[in-house]
Amino acid sequence: MNMTPSQRITSLGLVLPPAPPPAGLYKPVLVVGEFLFISGQGPMKSDGTYITGRVGEDLNLGQAKLAAEQVGLTMLSTIKTHFGDIDRIKRLVKTLGMVNCTPEFDQQPLVINGFSELMADVFGTDMGVGARSAVGIVLPGHVAVEIEAMFQLH
């Protein structure tokens, strides 16, 4: 695991979707001092459309976890496109994982693990794991999962 994050992306054969255009008046990525803030990202597929649907109704746990992983790939694409060198990222600091789910669904943490496991694969099992909350919420465009994150830079 002495590879850089960009080497791990290549080595894992990860396919990044296009970076989504902003859905409103905000910056997809903002750097302030040593911190990189990422706006809420949805699960964009390679064809530029999103994984949509309500977890517990339209999607099951496995499908929702894959959607969260796709959010991670989307976020990596956003970082490469709007920030540049992904190897300048030192660590994941904080994740807010939001699942579009029924009021009865209660396994948001297992869903968001799809994102968190990808971050650990790319940035390492220490530096790729941060503080986190995982909750259920109503999301724009009926996307299945949306995640915002804060990273620390080298």
Question: What phi, psi does 44 have (nearest 5°)?
Answer: -80, 135
5, 122 Cβ separation under 8 angstroms: yes
Residue 144 in the binding site for its own copies (CB under 8 A): no
Does position 1 interact with its own copies (CB under 8 A)? The reply is: no
The reply to whether 110 sits near its own copies by the rule CB under 8 A is: yes
Burial class (CB in 10 A: 0-12, 13-18, 19+), 97: buried
Binding marks (x or -) toward its own copies, 38..77, rule CB under 8 A? xxx-------------x-----------------------
What the block records as the tokens of 16 is 């990044």
Q: Which span sits near its own copies by CB under 8 A: 9-17, 23-31, 69-77?
A: 23-31
Rounded distance between C-alpha atoms, residue 59 and residue 107, angstroms = 13
Residues that bind its own copies (CB under 8 A): 23-30, 32-34, 37-40, 54, 91, 93-96, 98-99, 101-103, 105-110, 112-113, 116-117, 120, 129-142, 146, 148, 152
